[in-house]
Structure 1
Amino acid sequence: MRKIKFDINQQLKEMTEHRTDDLSIACYKTTISEHVQGYIPLHWHDELQFVAVIQGEVLFHINEQQVAVTEGNGVFINSGMMHMAEDWSTGDPSIYLCLNVSPQSLAPAELYMKYVHPYVTATNLPYLMIEKSDSWGEQLLQNIALVRQEIEEQAPYYELNIAGAVLEIWKRLIMNGYSLEHNETEMIRSKRMKHMLMWIHQNYAEPLRLDDIAKVGQLSRAETCRNFQQILRTTPMQYVLDYRIRKSTELLRFSQRSVTEIAYEVGFNSTSYFIEQFRKMMKITPLKYRREEQKGRHDEKNEIRS
């Protein structure tokens, strides 16, 4: 049997890209004994992790705490938490489903600061047990399995089914999880970040500078960069760039404007730079993205008619 190598960098950050096609989501089955080390080594990642143990028992080490998860139960591991896993079963090898989700993909950008950021940054929520004996936990575990099934089968509209299931998972967790702890300084920082993000969403098509964003947040340039890095794991200008690309995908799908027109409409002043950055983020050129989206919609219409 081929052994799986777990790829982490010198800072112990996992280097695996957790994506499924156009979604910042991945759900895969992990058999701990198949890994080179015989266990999942200590690491961290920006994604939120939802685990459902489907065979055996797994011992997780999360921020120096040990958490044993038995078959049929699960655990939520928050963004940025150091963790490792080892087989704790005396019988068959331990196997679990692992759902990794980018925090930014859980909810629309306008709702991120209200429904995601407080939980991602809470000081008292490094992990949360998910138990099938709780009705909300049982439903959450079923949705993890549903995401895995949707990814495997890829029936029409499966991306929407996945997005809906993941949103339901998050809703159940935040409705039934911890009473969060935040200090006043953190609340002020969150409010300033919300203002900066809203301003970017309203003005992304205009020429934007770091100084402009910092002024909206009433912060220095350095503090603005620090806040973006801590909260969104990116820089202010990279966030602007990514947001422009996301807005361009809407125009490519639903308008007949040329690539050059779209590039300028979302804030780029160079078509070649737009194409370069689009390909870097989406792993495809704008024109090919448009063709594939149009073909997909055409195929879906034919299925509906038939």
Structure 2
Amino acid sequence: MKKQLHEAIQYPDEAFPYIMYIHTNRSSIPKGRGVNDLHWHEELQMTLVTKGNLTIRINGIDYGLETGQAIFLNKSVLHIVTYLSHDGEYVSFNFPEKLLAFYSDSAMERNHVLPYTNSYLLSLVIKGDAEWQKQILQILWEMKKKFERKESWGWQYEISIHTVQLWLILISNIMLSSEESSKHNRLQQERLQLMLSFIHQNYTNLITLKEIADVAHLSVSECARSFKKSIHMTPYDYLVKYRIKKSCELLETTEYTVTEIARIVGFNHVNHFIQSFKKQRDITPKEYRKIRNVQTPS
């Protein structure tokens, strides 16, 4: 099954569309999109670093966060945590914008939610430099405690109230930019998502740079610039990296030979596959399979 860039979040309780993920280098609880997993979702997100430090990349810009710092991510923003310290941990709170509106077409939705969630605002780092940022961080820590003790009566109400308080503090202290640069950033995000999705859906086939560029209605040179600026690699390098990632899944979960896997993930020649694999993973596909089999005995 192909893993899409778009994350369709599965809430533990559909009657309360809210989830808190706990991410480490080893796992994500509940199962979700964690470290080194490029994705986007329709929900708003608040991420709090609870241990260590991390780097999150949004629209080609790396943001470093330390313990106790946080970042807000708007809906539909492509992002990836590219680094998390060895024993690091972070929690992500994901919720739909409708939770902030109370009910559809409310004054709150029209005046205080949609103008921000539909704006060119991609993200906002919250380091605690100002008093209002300290208030938000304090609320996030409190929300984490509530999620960990969800058996307490009325905890969903408490989470909802905390979230609305947090949102009001946030929008009271930021100014929406109408600058052309902000519009360009959002457009760049949308184009990149189209091109990356095309690669994810067609990586098993022969893909040309022109085909990738055509998806976003860009020239070949502009396509290459967009990749370099946003994810710091060429379209071809990203394609090869994604093929290697998919080959790792097949090496772990199937009995296909290395030659068969090379063909399945889009390599024309097995030698090219082995060379590319070793360049990225520092070991051969056979060595990788052997190590993984030892680590996860049947």
TM-score norm. by structure 2 comes to: 0.53
CA shift in 2, pair 1:101/1:8, >3 Å: farther
Q: Work out the CA distance in 2 between the residues paired with 1:148 and 1:37.
A: 19
Q: Work out the CA distance in 1 between the residues paired with 2:2 and 2:130.
A: 35
1:38-187 to 2 correspondences below 5 Å:
39-89=35-85, 92-108=86-102, 109=104, 110=106, 111-123=108-120, 125-154=121-150, 155-181=152-178
Q: Work out the CA distance in 1 between the residues paired with 2:33 and 2:109.
A: 37
CA shift in 2, pair 1:18/1:67, >3 Å: farther
**Identical pairs, percent:** 24
Q: Work out the CA distance in 2 between the residues paired with 1:37 and 1:122.
A: 25
Equivalent residue, structure 1, for 2:6:
13
Equivalent residue, structure 2, for 1:28:
21
CA shift in 2, pair 1:60/1:18, >3 Å: farther
Higher relative contact order (CA 8 A, sep 6+): 2
Is residue 9–residue 15 contact of structure 1 (8 Å, CA) maintained in 2?
A: no
Deviation per residue, 1:66-118 (Å, 9 max, x gap): 111111111101100000003243xx422111111101111222121211111
CA shift in 2, pair 1:45/1:8, >3 Å: farther
Q: Which runs of 5+ in 1 are unaligned?
A: 1-6, 187-306
Counterpart code for 1:23: F
Q: Work out the CA distance in 1 between the residues paired with 2:66 and 2:19.
A: 22
Q: Work out the CA distance in 1 between the residues paired with 2:114 and 2:96.
A: 12
Q: Work out the CA distance in 1 between the residues paired with 2:179 and 2:13.
A: 33
Q: Work out the CA distance in 2 between the residues paired with 1:174 and 1:80.
A: 19
Q: Which runs of 5+ in 2 are unaligned?
A: 184-298
Query: 2:169 is paired with a residue of what secondary structure?
Result: helix
Q: Work out the CA distance in 1 between the residues paired with 2:144 and 2:26.
A: 21
Q: Work out the CA distance in 1 between the residues paired with 2:144 and 2:34.
A: 24
CA shift in 2, pair 1:69/1:26, >3 Å: same
Query: 2:37 is paired with a residue of what secondary structure?
Result: strand
CA shift in 2, pair 1:128/1:19, >3 Å: farther
Is residue 62–residue 82 contact of structure 1 (8 Å, CA) maintained in 2?
A: yes
Query: 2:171 is paired with a residue of what secondary structure?
Result: helix
Q: Work out the CA distance in 2 between the residues paired with 1:118 and 1:176.
A: 14
Q: Work out the CA distance in 1 between the residues paired with 2:179 and 2:25.
A: 36
Is residue 33–residue 39 contact of structure 2 (8 Å, CA) maintained in 1?
A: no
Q: Work out the CA distance in 1 between the residues paired with 2:163 and 2:135.
A: 12
CA shift in 2, pair 1:9/1:117, >3 Å: farther
Is residue 53–residue 96 contact of structure 1 (8 Å, CA) maintained in 2?
A: yes
* Count of matched residue pairs: 174
CA shift in 2, pair 1:161/1:119, >3 Å: same
Cα offset, 1:133, TM superposition? 2.7
Counterpart code for 1:166: T
Counterpart code for 1:167: V
- Calculate the aligned-residue CA RMSD, in Å: 2.7
Query: 1:171 is paired with a residue of what secondary structure?
Result: helix
CA shift in 2, pair 1:37/1:133, >3 Å: closer
Q: Work out the CA distance in 1 between the residues paired with 2:131 and 2:125.
A: 13
Cα offset, 1:179, TM superposition? 3.0
Counterpart code for 1:151: F
